[in-house]
């Protein structure tokens, strides 16, 4: 079975919520652009959230969170490598702020 983090669409009319993994109709989903610019659509693949997960999201500025996630994702195929890289990046940011 495919990891739900990498599976964006089940079909043209269905998508997978990146938060809970539920398969939902595309019309009932909310687009999520990890790059923070959902209006520039050229060459982009969007991820999706179901409405309940979207409501649960914090809609306040996240001070570079998406950029850090994209940087941590890099070429890491597995979850543990991603988490390790993310922790390293965040730890480096905290140590440089002191």
Q: Based on the fold, state whether residues 21 and 45 are members of the same structural domain.
A: yes
pLDDT at 76: 65
pLDDT, one tens digit per residue, over 18-67 is 999 999 999 999 988 776 666 676 777 788 999 999 888 776 666 777 78
Q: pLDDT class for 2, splitting at 50, 70, 90?
A: very low
The residues facing 32 across adjacent strands are 47
pTM, full prediction = 0.52
Q: Based on the fold, state whether residues 22 and 49 are members of the same structural domain.
A: yes
* Domain count of the fold of the chain: 2
Instruction: Select the more confidently predicted residue: 33 or 4.
Output: 33
Distance CA 36, CA 29 (A): 17
**pLDDT > 80? residue 96:** no
CB 70 within 8 A of CB 36: no
Domain containing 45: what range? 14-56
Asked whether residue 20 is assigned to any structural domain, the reply reads: yes
Assigned token pair, 62: 């996240």
């Amino acid at each position: 079975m495919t990891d739900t983090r990498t599976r964006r669409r089940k079909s043209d009319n269905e998508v997978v919520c990146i938060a809970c993994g539920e398969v939902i109709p595309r019309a009932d989903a909310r687009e999520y652009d990890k790059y923070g610019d959902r209006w520039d659509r050229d060459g982009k693949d969007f991820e999706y959230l179901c409405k309940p997960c979207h409501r649960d999201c914090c809609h306040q500025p996240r001070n570079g969170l998406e950029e850090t996630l994209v940087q941590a994702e890099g070429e890491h195929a597995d979850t543990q490598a991603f988490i390790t890289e993310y922790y390293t990046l965040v730890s480096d940011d905290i140590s440089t702020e002191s």
